[in-house]
Amino acid sequence: MRPSIINEVDLTFWIINGISILLLLLITVAMLYFVFKYSKKRNPVPENIEGNTTIEVIWTVVPIILVLYMFYISWGGFINMRDVPKDAMVVKVTGQMWKWTFEYDNQKKSDTLNLPHNKNVKFEIFSQDVLHSFYLPHFRVKEDAVPGAQNYFWIRTAELGTFYAACAEYCGLNHSFMYAPVNVIPEDQYEIWKNSVPADTTKKDSATVTPVTSADTTAGIKSDSLNSGAIKDSLKNETPASDIKKTDTLK
């Protein structure tokens, strides 16, 4: 069993930030203490200290060790992220202004991402127009969608529930509306959904390459905000009933 990417990212985050908080405290407390103790009032005569080689060496070497340690643990996590398990199912993700399309191994296309529970999933990421970034906040991972290139990452769907995908690379007017619901559902339900008709749930989009002009942009924009409720509503039509958990937030 491979270690969970989510746990590894969080652990690395808190180890590095834990060390950082200690260093910040050290610097700040020392600074405040010196400013207090050696204030003009308490210490009218300064001492002439120009430096100290031993101390310089210590505070060069210790941080080197610390950052190398940080590099080492993040490197380990990174290797796990890039090494896709052999049994991973493949979903093709295509970004365009401003929606995601997901294509499954039976050529079924959907703008909602439905995934079976407890599976490794590899995403092959493409773009039709400009740069996008396929970001799954709950799974702590993103990778850019680059036109003319193919990128990838993988996740494990360890948890049933509803999450979301967002676009993290600025792509123009409706960049902040480029969400897609991500449902992790029991495998049998997933199979039923995948093999159900219609196979192509995406509408034929005539303007795959949308020219952006300030004139036509304001018209197309939704004035109401996209909220998690809206994501839930849209996915209810698409997915078989399943015990959908509260919309994802990080703990």
Which residues ranging from 126 to 145 are in contact with another protein (CB under 8 A)? 129-131, 133, 135, 137-138, 140-144
Q: What residues form DSSP beta bridges with 175?
A: none
Q: From CA 87, how far away is CA 113, in angstroms rounded?
A: 19
Q: Which of residues 170-189 bind another protein (CB under 8 A)?
A: 170-177
**Residue 54 within binding range of another protein, rule CB under 8 A:** no
Residue 198 vs 229, nearer CB to another protein: 229
Of 218, 233, 236, 245, the one binding another protein by CB under 8 A? 218
Give me the least distance between CB of 197 and another protein, in Å please.
32
**Residue 50 within binding range of another protein, rule CB under 8 A:** yes
**Residue 243 within binding range of another protein, rule CB under 8 A:** no
CB 147 within 8 Å of CB 131: yes
CB 101 within 8 Å of CB 93: yes
DSSP annotation of 175 reads G
Name the residue type at position 43: N
Please say whether the dihedral angle defined by the alpha carbons of residues 184, 190, 193 and 195, taken in this order, is positive or negative: positive
| Tokens of residue 17, six digits | 């930030």
Q: Which of residues 84-103 bind another protein (CB under 8 A)?
A: none
Residue 124 vs 186, nearer CB to another protein: 124
